[in-house]
Amino acid sequence: MHSDASRPGPAESVARRTESFGKDRRILRRADYLGTYATGRRHVGRWLVLFVRPGKGATVRLGVTITKKTGSAVVRNRLRRRLRELFRRSGGLEGPLDVVVNVRAGAETTTFAELASDFERVARRARAGGVA
């Protein structure tokens, strides 16, 4: 096998931003969810409701809640994956924040593009409206 001199090797590869969504970027404890609901600002969209409050960590953390009325576990997990990806891609919310996203009824039937535009619209409102 011959190597192509025009292609960069492993040592020369371009540094990329990590695409993982580790535990440090997620809200894991019930108390953090309840605190965000109680003290956070509420921003309502067509398919999503964002609750945003100042966070305790160094980054923005995301929590997603979806009721069983939305659909089966497969449907709920698909929505969670889509929202995590939108959150990861957006990068618009900065600073130490806790963000909880509630999915509203009917979101399971929307396209990814519709969900993305609703998320961006609500996140823009959250940035403009301040946090607490």
Q: Could you give the dihedral angle defined by the CA atoms of residues 43, 90, 114 and 119, in that order, rounded to the nearest 10 degrees?
A: -10
pLDDT of residue 108: 92
Q: How confident is the model at residue 109 (pLDDT cuts 50, 70, 90)?
A: very high
Nearest one of 26, 118, 115 to 79, comparing CA atoms? 115
Write down the domain spans for the chain. Answer: 22-129
Distance, CA of 30 to CA of 66 (rounded, Å) = 14
Residue 54 per-residue DSSP state: E
- pTM of the full structure: 0.79
* Position with higher pLDDT, 61 vs 18: 61
Question: What is the CATH topology of the domain spanning 22-129?
Answer: Ribosomal Protein S5; domain 2 (3.30.230)
Percent of the residues in the chain that have a pLDDT greater than 90, as a whole number: 58
pLDDT one-digit tens code per residue, 23-42: 888 899 999 999 999 999 99
Q: Which of 16-20, 30-34, 66-70, 94-98 has the lowest mean pLDDT?
A: 16-20
Distance, CA of 11 to CA of 23 (rounded, Å) = 29
